[in-house]
C-alpha cells in the first residue's frame, strides 16, 4: 500500500547531523566507559547509525518502555518491558531517545537509571518538540528542534507503521 508521507528532514540531513553528534560524543567520552542505552522501540534506527559514528570502545544496551497515557497523551508513567542486560554501575550512560515531546518519559528514565549508580547519565535525542514541554529535561546532544507536528519515520511510528522510512516525515491526512 502506498503511503502518503511528506518529508520534513531528509535522509542526507539526518546522516550529516548524526555524523556531527557522533564526532562530539567521540570527543567528549574519550577514555570513559560509554554505554549507549537505546530506548525501544523508536530509537533503534537512530542508535544503530549513531553507534557507527562513535569511534570509541563502548557498549550498547536496550531499554524497552511502554508509556501509559490517555490516548496519544503521554502520562510519563512508563513500564519497563525489557531491562538492561548488564549493570551500568560506574559507567557513563548516554540515553538515546528518538524524540523528547513532553519530557515525561526522559524524566522518568533519568530517575530510573540514576538508581543504578552510573558514573554519569546524559541524554542524546534526535528530535525535540519544545512547544509541548511539560517538564524541563536536559538534552545534552540534540539532532533537530521541530515544531509541534506528529512525525514518523527513521524509527518513529504512528500505530506501529512507518518506522522503516529512511527520513522524518509528516503523515498527510487521508493516509
Ligand atoms: P514524552 O514522554 O512526551 O516526551 O514522549 C516521548 C515518546 O512519545 C517518544 O519516545 C515517542 O515514542 C512518542 N512520541 C512523541 N512525539 C511523537 C511523534 O511526533 N511521533 C512519534 N512518536 C512520538
Q: In the chain, what is the straight-line distance between the N-terminal and C-terminal CA atoms, in Å?
A: 10
Q: Would you state the cell numbers that stand for residue 19, as one nine-digit string?
A: 555524523
- Please return the burial class of 21, using the count of CB atoms within 10 Å of its CB with bins 0-12, 13-18 and 19+: buried
Q: How far apart are CA 104 and CA 77, in angstroms?
A: 8
Q: Is there a catalytic annotation at residue 101?
A: yes
pLDDT of 1 reads 44
Atom of ligand 1 nearest to the CA of 129: 16
Query: Is it the case that residue 2 has pLDDT exceeding 60?
Result: no
* CB of 99 closer than 6 angstroms to any ligand 1 atom: yes
Average pLDDT value over all residues in the chain = 93
Question: CB neighbours of 30 closer than 8 A, spacing ≥ 6?
Answer: 56
Query: Is it the case that residue 20 has pLDDT exceeding 70?
Result: yes
Q: How far apart are CA 10 and CA 125, in angstroms?
A: 17
Calculate mean pLDDT across residues 129-145.
96
Q: Would you state the cell numbers that stand for residue 63, as one nine-digit string?
A: 531499554
Catalytic residue among 12, 83, 101, 140: 101
- Each residue of 21-36: pLDDT tens digit? 999 999 999 999 999 9
- Each residue of 42-97: pLDDT tens digit? 999 999 999 999 999 999 999 999 876 555 556 667 889 999 999 999 999 999 99
- Name the DSSP class of 172: P
Please give the distance, rounded to the nearest whole angstrom, from the Cα atom of residue 107 to the centre of ligand 1.
13
pLDDT of 131 reads 95
Domains of the chain: 11-150 (3.40.50.2020)
Please give the distance, rounded to the nearest whole angstrom, from the Cα atom of residue 99 to the centre of ligand 1.
6
Atom of ligand 1 nearest to the CA of 76: 2
- Each residue of 93-121: pLDDT tens digit? 999 999 999 999 999 999 999 999 999 99
Nearest to 93 by CA among 63, 71, 134, 135: 63
Amino acid at each position: 500500500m502506498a503511503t502518503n508521507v511528506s518529508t520534513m528532514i531528509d535522509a542526507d540531513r539526518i546522516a550529516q547531523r548524526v555524523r556531527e553528534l557522533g564526532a562530539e560524543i567521540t570527543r567528549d567520552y574519550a577514555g570513559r566507559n560509554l554505554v549507549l542505552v537505546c530506548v525501544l522501540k523508536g530509537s533503534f534506527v537512530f542508535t544503530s547509525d549513531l553507534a557507527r559514528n562513535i569511534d570509541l570502545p563502548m557498549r550498547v544496551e536496550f531499554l524497552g518502555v511502554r508509556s501509559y497515557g490517555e490516548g496519544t497523551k503521554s502520562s510519563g508513567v512508563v513500564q519497563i518491558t525489557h531491562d538492561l542486560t548488564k549493570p551500568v554501575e560506574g559507567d557513563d550512560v548516554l540515553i538515546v531517545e528518538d524524540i523528547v515531546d513532553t519530557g515525561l518519559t526522559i524524566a522518568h528514565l533519568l530517575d530510573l537509571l540514576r538508581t543504578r549508580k552510573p558514573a554519569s547519565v546524559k541524554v542524546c535525542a534526535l528530535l525535540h518538540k519544545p512547544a509541548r514541554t511539560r517538564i524541563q529535561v536536559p538534552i545534552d546532544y540534540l539532532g533537530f528542534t521541530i515544531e509541534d507536528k506528529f512525525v514518523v519515520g527513521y524509527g518513529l511510528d504512528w500505530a506501529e507503521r512507518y518506522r522503516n522510512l529512511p527520513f522524518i516525515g509528516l503523515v498527510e491526512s487521508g493516509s
